[in-house]
Each structure stands twice: as structure tokens, then as C-alpha cells.
Amino acid sequence: MNQLPPEQALLSSVNIDKPLPRRSVYRSKLGRQRIFELYQKTLNDLPFKVRHQIVPTSYGKTFLSMAGNPDAPPILVLPGMSIAGPMMLEFFEELQKNHLLIAPDLIGQPGHSEDVPFPNKKQAYGQWSLEILDHLGLKRVGIASASFGGSIALELTAMAPERVGKQVLVVPAGLTPNLPYFKLYAGLAVNWMAYRWWPFHAEQAIPYKWLKRIARPLSRSLTQDNLDYFDAVIRHTAFWRHRPAGPFTKGDFAESVTPTFAIFAQKDFVFPHRATLANAKQSLPMAEMAILEESAHMPSDADMVPMHARISAYFDGSI
């Protein structure tokens, strides 16, 4: 009998047909199946080989997707909220040429890590990150992060700067002194809940017309794959049940912190540009900083093309 390759066997063993646990991130088994279909599609579309590993932590089992040369310098790739590891490998695709990328699915968020709520406690994400590094035997790593993942990177940096090398923060959480919660709930959450509960959006002549409208505060240029996933997250998951770590300020970081490359979006609805940038300049030593002048919170592919070249140069030592 033919056996599946180890990485496919590992994927096929993850809770696809099991009952949903109590307080699952998924609203139904059908919703979980839809998320897993899109997860698998992302993996299938990646132009490079991906390996998988499950790491035990005190917060739950963590599913890792890894790409690149196992002997190359490691980079921990930390995701945005509700974004799984393979999507982050796709986002930071250029880096796998010269590095080993390690992209976890966040516990309690869509993906193959343990489906239990992650505790909203100070230093929990930092400790979780340290447990992953310890299990993999990594004394020091680079970090590439986006949005929610930026706050995890910053918490790890504050707790254990000796474990963090170079890091890239793309539109990071964790540096905004006061999140605009009222604006976020009024401008995003209300519309998202309406999209979830009123199914007439599916009957429109132009698919996702309403979804594109309510996504505009986050992004002006979503691809078809982006829209498919955004639709699944809103309709099938308990989105926004976790909070990013932080906010962090200058006093949270040691003087030995490695200079960072940070990228901000000038029209960021989630992490307002002016206050976030001012705090970042005071809090972190910067190797380089970039501002995407026309970008909302989720940069377009066109926005990121020059940024990816600069990110690669930063990690490869050209900056």
C-alpha cells in the first residue's frame, strides 16, 4: 500500500472530521472545512516545497509550515490575525531563497494549530514563541511579521532580546499607543456582522461586491484568493476574539535590541499612522523605515514589490 509523504500525512491527520471543540474558532464543521480548503489551496499554489511539524507548547499544539534551506539562517514568520502560516510563506516568498522560514499557525485562530482560545495575558505570546524556539533548538532567529504578528515579535523582543536578530515589522500591531476601538467596531465589526447574518450578498450579480466595499478600510486591492479567504473568515469564524500584545514603548526594550526594519501604511485604518510612527521612532532603533503613502492596512502586491527587495537586502546584510 502506498504511503503519503510525511508532510501530507501530517496534514491529513489534523482534525478535519472531528467534532468542534468547545469555544472553537469555527462556527461550524462546514466552516472549518471551507477554511481548510483555502489553506490547502494556498499550499498547493506555492512554487516551493513546504515541510510541516507539530510543536507542543504549554498553550497548545502549534502547527508549523517551513520552507527554504534547513541549514540557512532561520527566520520566524509571524502572521496577521486570522492568517495562517502558508499565507505568510507566500507573502514573504523571496526570503525562502536564502533562509529557513518557520511559519506557525496561531493557536485559537484559523489553521491547524490547537483550536483553543489563546489567553489574553501579558507575555503569553512571547512565552509561546520562546517555547517554539526552544523546541526547535534555535538560540537566535530573525523575525518577519505582519500586523498582529508584529505585536508577538515585539513581545518576544522585549522579553528575550538575546533570542531575536534582525526583524521586519510590516504594518505592525503593538506600537499604537491607543487603538481606536470605537472606530474599529463602528467601521469594521458592524459591517462584518451584517455581512455574516444577511445572506443577500451571495445573490448579487457581481460576486463579493459588498465584501469589497466593507473591506476598503483595510485594503483597496484584494485579489480573488484574498476575497475568498476574507469571505470565509467573516462568515465561518469567531474573528477578533484575541487582542494583540502591547502596546510597547521605549522603556520596554533593552538597548541591545538589533536595529529593525519597519514598514508603515500612511492610510492605516487599524493602527493610525501618525501616532504609531511617532511611538516606533522613540521605542526602537531603526536600521531602515519605509512609509507606504497610498496604502491602507493591507498593502497591495504592487505596494510590496519594492519592499520585498529591501526586506531581502536587510536580512542578507546589504543594509
Can you give the CATH number for the domain in which 162 is found? 3.40.50.1820
3-state SS of the chain: helix, strand, coil percent to 5? 45, 15, 40
- Convert the pLDDT of each residue in 43-99 to its tens digit: 999 999 999 999 999 999 999 999 999 999 999 999 999 999 999 999 999 999 999
Dihedral angle, C-alpha 290, 149, 83, 209, nearest 10 °? -50
Structural domain for 286, as ranges? 6-13+21-179+240-316
- Count of other CB atoms within 10 angstroms of residue 229: 23
Q: Is 168 helix (H, G, I), strand (E, B) or coil?
A: strand
Mean pLDDT computed over 222-250 = 93
| 135 domain residue, yes or no | yes
CA distance linking residue 157 with residue 178, whole number of Å: 21
pLDDT at 179: 83
| 194 domain residue, yes or no | no
- Convert the pLDDT of each residue in 261-313 to its tens digit: 999 999 999 999 999 999 999 999 999 999 999 999 999 999 999 999 999 99
| 273 domain residue, yes or no | yes
| 234 domain residue, yes or no | no
| 192 domain residue, yes or no | no
| 207 domain residue, yes or no | no
Confidence label for 176 from pLDDT (cuts 50, 70 and 90): very high
pLDDT at 187: 84
- Assess contact for 77 and 101: CB atoms under 8 A: yes
Give the total number of structural domains in the chain: 1
The letter for the amino acid at 301 is D
CA atoms 222, 292, 187, 232: torsion sign:
positive
Confidence label for 241 from pLDDT (cuts 50, 70 and 90): confident
- Convert the pLDDT of each residue in 107-153 to its tens digit: 999 999 999 999 999 999 999 999 999 999 999 999 999 999 999 99
Q: What is the pTM of this model?
A: 0.93
